[in-house]
Structure 1
Amino acid sequence: MLIQLAILGLLAALLPLTIVWVSSDQNKYRKLVWVTVFLTFDLIMFGAFTRLTDSGLGCPDWPGCYGHANPLQAHEQISAAEAAMPTGPVTVAKAWIEMIHRYLAMAVGVLIISIMVIAWRGWIKSRRADLRFSPTLPTLLLAFVCLQGAFGAWTVTLKLQPVIVTIHLLLGMFLLSMLVWLGARENMHHPVAAPARSLQRMAAVALILLFLQIALGGWVSTNYAALACTDFPLCHGRVIPDMDFEHGFTLWRHLGKTADGEYLPFAALTAVHWVHRNFAFVVVIFIAWLAHKALHIEGLRSNARWLLIVLGAQFLTGMSTIFLKWPLALAVIHNGGAALLVLLLTMLNYRVRIPAQPTADHAATRLSAA
């Protein structure tokens, strides 16, 4: 089974690798990095689709499906589970969704291994002179994707324990951020007016706030608290509704249960939803303020404009999920918007911290950024 899964992972990576190989871009390494960024973004979107369709246990073992490399081979076991519980976690459709997610994850892993191998090869071949191939970050990426894979396994084996699923989401976003930083390092570095140190701090704080909000959003999703408040701007008709923070934010517990094994009270779900909703205002205001500052700096204006556009769209999709009762397409788009914000804020952080410099100095700075 493991050999079959490895072959499927290689086949899934074959298309993006072919795109890089036949590309007219002379810098194949940079092209490979950005293709990997794109596929990682797709993986995050499909991961959200997997979670939101309750397909996380579509194959209740790992890394295969009932000990097989694909749902076709496990059709008998899947059909038996579906017949016993038609609305349960295991169905033919959910099994395919879960396994496609795993195949995509393996493809990203293959691409990151390729990035690391090319980086080390270029670094050694140039006798550590070509700073484009500094291997530190690519090597960290490989270690990080292995950690992400481990949390993917625990997501299944621990039966969608909320804290594990939330960490798995956060690690996926952080992996995207690391890849974007590597891609920014390999890009042509356009001139940027020297930003104030305060803007550098603001950009860093904005990224931290965004990750905190993503963690809260993941906690809402993994606890199925998206519809705990169905009115806005109030919640259950009140500014501060009845909430149970103790049970809502107990990390180590099973899905839908308290730490004592009792059913999670609705007030706990209300607390989870209310905190995510209200912290969103803090994040939106701070990132909008940062983008407004960046609009006045030559070389950052395009990034700032896109940041404002995606931020506005993200706010609207968040509100729409409440009024339209959490439709699947909007929920997936909302997750994608969070990933886009991570991408844009990572690019902004890179550009305010690594300004354009003369060639020799620029190379040294890029090395330190690795």
Structure 2
Amino acid sequence: MDTQPLYDLAPVLQLMLLGIAVALGPLAWVWLRNKQAAPAQRLAALTVLTLFLTFDLVLFGAFTRLTDSGLGCPDWPGCYGNASPSGAHAEISQAQAQMPTGPVTHGKAWIEMVHRYLATGVGVLILTLAVATWMQRKRGVPVSPWWPALTLVWVCLQGAFGALTVTMKLFPAIVTLHLLGGMLGLALLCLQAVAYAQAQRGTGPQLLPGNQRAALLAAFGLLWLQIALGGWVSTNYAVLACSDFPACQGAWWPAMDFRQGFELWRELGKAGSGEHVTFAALTAIHYSHRLVAYVLFAALLALAWRLWRGPLHRQARWLAGLALWQFASGLSNVVLGWPLVAAVAHTAGAAGLVIVFTWAVCESRATPVRAGERVRRREVSA
């Protein structure tokens, strides 16, 4: 295990073929269901399906992390230089005999490799979207190739972070960035799906009062902060630092070390000085996430109430429902001791919020302010 190179590119071709095989099913499904449809409609269907599969990939990535399977294969992109754990049976058995609970076991190796197969399949779908969009653009179909191209760049960067996650031994900052990258991919694909839907309807974004649009964007920004904090909690295994609610360790302000807790560039479980991360630092990580969660929960409910009777009423219902989902799943993680189902459900809720917020932002724009109104606003402010 110790002599295994971190990078072994021998199985790259086999993994690429596996990724194509994984992608062929969704591609065939879209083609069969849309044989008579216009090219733009087929691209729209493929975008929505890729968005759905990327959502599933984010959840499976959370499952991989939460089952401690991130190092189930200690090299990248294969498993001990093989395209599947079957070819590495002897090496995995030897590692498992030395450490029966991991990090390398047969079960964890399969979880890790299935995650890589799914990620490669999604990458093939995104490459197909980018190439197909450019081809249709050259044929005069009014589709924008730039967002699919940007998404292709994103998936390449995400693959690089996936490799670093393994080779840097679950370095917390890298794993957190990998999680944020997954959420960004959902936003990019949702943006394209909304654009296709608007083109098919022949309508543009709905007008919102300027203050509602500003509140929407502010809440979206707060959501990204909370996802980053949630990733930091998960990658530092700080969920169980507070096992009671609403207090933490029986206090409203427990002993915390924010400096060490938010020292970003360090190894898992270690401070920058090389010492072990203290429990006070883990408490600071957990409690920061909880405090921002209170603010975000209130902001989501207030935003949903403001949007409820407007053109974004569907998104408002989703925001309210997902806010309650996140509260319930987050609370379950604390009081039930971080059960796997609740932890994955919490990630699902965060991914769902990213999609709904992107949907709402793309489906709206601020109401233009007339010149006379600008003058009156300046007079009032003066």
Contact 1:58 1:98 in 2 (8 A): yes
Is 2:145 the counterpart of 1:117? no
Aligned to 2:357: 345
Contact 1:21 1:28 in 2 (8 A): yes
* Aligned partner of 1:209 among 199, 208, 222: 222
Aligned to 1:325: 337
Output the CA distance in 1 between the equivalents of 2:124 and 2:366: 29
Q: Which has the larger radius of gyration?
A: 2
Shift of residue 353, structure 1, vs aligned partner: 2.6
- Deviations, residues 302-361 of structure 1 (Å, cap 9, x unaligned): 111111111111111101111111100110011011000111111001111399xxxxxx
Aligned to 2:256: 243
TM-score normalised by structure 2 residue count: 0.89
Aligned to 1:159: 169
* Aligned partner of 2:111 among 92, 97, 100: 97
* 3-state SS of paired residue (1:353): strand
Aligned to 1:218: 231
Output the CA distance in 2 between the equivalents of 1:255 and 1:167: 14
Aligned to 2:309: 296
Output the CA distance in 2 between the equivalents of 1:51 and 1:23: 35
Output the CA distance in 2 between the equivalents of 1:24 and 1:139: 23
User: How do 1:60-209 residues align onto structure 2 when only pairs under 5 Å count?
Assistant: 60-126=74-140, 130-131=141-142, 133-187=143-197, 188-189=200-201, 194-209=207-222
Output the CA distance in 2 between the equivalents of 1:283 and 1:166: 20
Moved over 6 A (4+): none
Output the CA distance in 2 between the equivalents of 1:204 and 1:118: 32
Distance of aligned partners of 1:93 and 1:142 in 2 relative to their CA distance in 1, 3 Å threshold: same
**Aligned-residue CA RMSD in angstroms?**
1.4
Calculate percent identity across the aligned residue pairs: 51
Between Structure 1 and Structure 2, how many residues are aligned?
A: 350
Contact 2:44 2:193 in 1 (8 A): yes
Shift of residue 95, structure 1, vs aligned partner: 0.3
Aligned to 2:8: none
Shift of residue 24, structure 1, vs aligned partner: 4.0
Aligned to 1:368: none
Whichever residue aligns with residue 331 of structure 1, its letter is: A
Q: Which moved more, 1:54-63 or 1:180-189?
A: 180-189
Aligned to 2:374: none
Whichever residue aligns with residue 211 of structure 1, its letter is: W
Gaps of 5+ in 1: 356-370
* Aligned partner of 2:295 among 272, 278, 282: 282
Output the CA distance in 1 between the equivalents of 2:58 and 2:280: 30
Gaps of 5+ in 2: 1-10, 368-382
Shift of residue 193, structure 1, vs aligned partner: 5.1
Is 2:16 the counterpart of 1:6? yes
